[in-house]
Structure 1
Amino acid sequence: MDLTHRPRRLRTDGIRPLVRETTLSPSDLIAPVFVDATTDERVPIGSMPGHVRVPVSGIVDRVEEVLETGVEAVMLFGIPESKDEVGSRAYAEDGVVQRAMRAVSEETDAYVVGDVCLCEYTSHGHCGVLTDEARGRWERLHRGDDPAHVTDSSLTVENDRTLDLLARTAVSQADAGADMVAPSSMTDGMVGAIRAALDDAGHEDVPVMSYAAKFESAFYGPFRDAADGAPAFGDRSHYQMDPANAREAMREVRLDVEQGADVLMVKPALPYLDVVRAVRETYDHPVAAYNVSGEYAMLHAAAEKGWLDLDAVARESVLSIKRAGADLVVTYFAERLAEDLSTP
């Protein structure tokens, strides 16, 4: 037996950390934070243990809690006081996210990322302006007609009419102090429209982190509960990507690169590590991955059953995302991981 090569030589305590290929630190993480215009107190999110909706008056304290763990960046999601068909509170100067951003940017050192989408703000829950056909379906549902008439998801959102609203939302967030904007609607041309609008408004230095490959995933459920953003009819399969398609993902990413995206996001993370790796190997842009709510919730559920060690699987999961090629990870484990990483 030839034992010239013994990989176990490099697995002892002294040398193991020195030859570690992938590292994880709090500065790699972005913590999602939910701000709610409909409440005056913290509201626990049942499907996402440890997370809450906070009122605008409490957003600074919440962000300071994040910063104390060593995490330096937050992504803000808003629950507005009212919704309408075009999601106008998403781009209102006094919108919930805009007010929160002003407070956070003025009173903390956090790096603030704004989610640019309309689904949390539209009365129908879709990520843009409805087509005439879809609007008719929505009106029938709203009147209480047979829901069977409104289940078809084809051509729900008018792509080009949505671009202006996304651009207005991005500019309003930059005006309010966002350090980065992150369009997540998978609208064709969204990066180009937002980049042009930011530049025209004097925000040339605000980067765009595009959700360049966002899949129509079953792992989003807890987030839709947290942000009150589930579609009222149909689904998002005609504008979010088919989970079966990896080559299409690379085409989507390429288009966003051509339109000026600064950071490229893959969402979700764990079921799409092959896409994260492909993006990393193809482009020299920073790569982000979103460790989504369903990934978070399933590990919590297993840990509550005593089947898994939550801290261990959280660290291993996010480490795998980095190993696949992500430079930064948006994760609901950000604070827990940061505190765990600071422990010798």
Structure 2
Amino acid sequence: MDIDVIVRGTGRFVPERVLTNDDFAQVVETSDEWITARTGIKIRHFVSPGETNSLMAAAAARQALEMAGAEPSDVELIIVPTVTAERIFPATASIVQARLGATKAACLDMVAACSGFIYALSAATAWLRSGEYKNALVIGSEVMSALENFTDRNVCVLFGDAAAAVYLQAEPRADRERGVLHFDLGSDGTLVPLLYQKAGGSAHPPTFTTVLNEEHFITMQGQEVFKRAVRKMDETARTVVAKAGHTPDEIDWFIAHQANSRIVEAAGRRLGVPPEKVPINIDHFGNTTSASIPLLLDELNREGKLKAGHKVVLFAFGAGLTWASAYLVWGD
């Protein structure tokens, strides 16, 4: 069908509780200087008691709906990409649906780690283009603090909690380039051991032993992930730009997953674009996994930096290992 898929609203929820680098220096051998130099992170936000994944996701969704002038009763599809679902089942998206009162929405979660938002955006776009649904909420929401080992200084300082959403709407095809247009998705499952959570699933269900052995926390080989992330983020961004029939210098914004400021900066250099086209906000949020791209998208949108007609590339890399990119033209 001849349909454009337009981002009509963005929103976010960031917990009020803040942890600084100096806070981490009280519990592990680290310092503000060490963390800042290696990650670019200065602060990150953690949930407080009573703040859950679905609560954050619903709050972000309400902002996106308000911006779009839509009501929860209008929503036809909700996808929540997350690695920190509230339960193994049901889907966190179903809990979000109940919080919103979006009674007619189909609901599902997706797991592609830090690439999850783009994977979910791709799925939602395909459904809307098919004519099956007229609109969708895609909400990256993570409580990464639940998976952190606060004795591992290489991992615990990296992550933050947050949720961010986009509201997509299917509209008749225009006579110009607009909306969400192209994707590149990929994975290499042979590299699962580089970044994973060992226990908690059906292969290693929770037991006294898995808890005692700290198998429910994030396990990461940081240097190996770093090397692959820089290369693959460059490759997937170039692929989706080529699909769109453009070159990197013609793109207005490259919105990267905020894993580490050095990764984002290196990806920008490889693409040959100026730093101002590759914004960074990891300094005040940390790595929020599937929430990081929509969080930055909402920040740029609310600051008025995203203008109608701007060419935007989203790109990410995460556990799996997965990678993903999307090309869209902002506004009408």
TM-score of the aligned structures, taking structure 1 as reference length: 0.30
Task: Specify the structure having the higher radius of gyration (Cα).
Answer: 1
TM-score of the aligned structures, taking structure 2 as reference length: 0.31
Q: Structure 1 or 2: larger helix share?
A: 1
Q: Structure 1 or 2: larger strand share?
A: 2
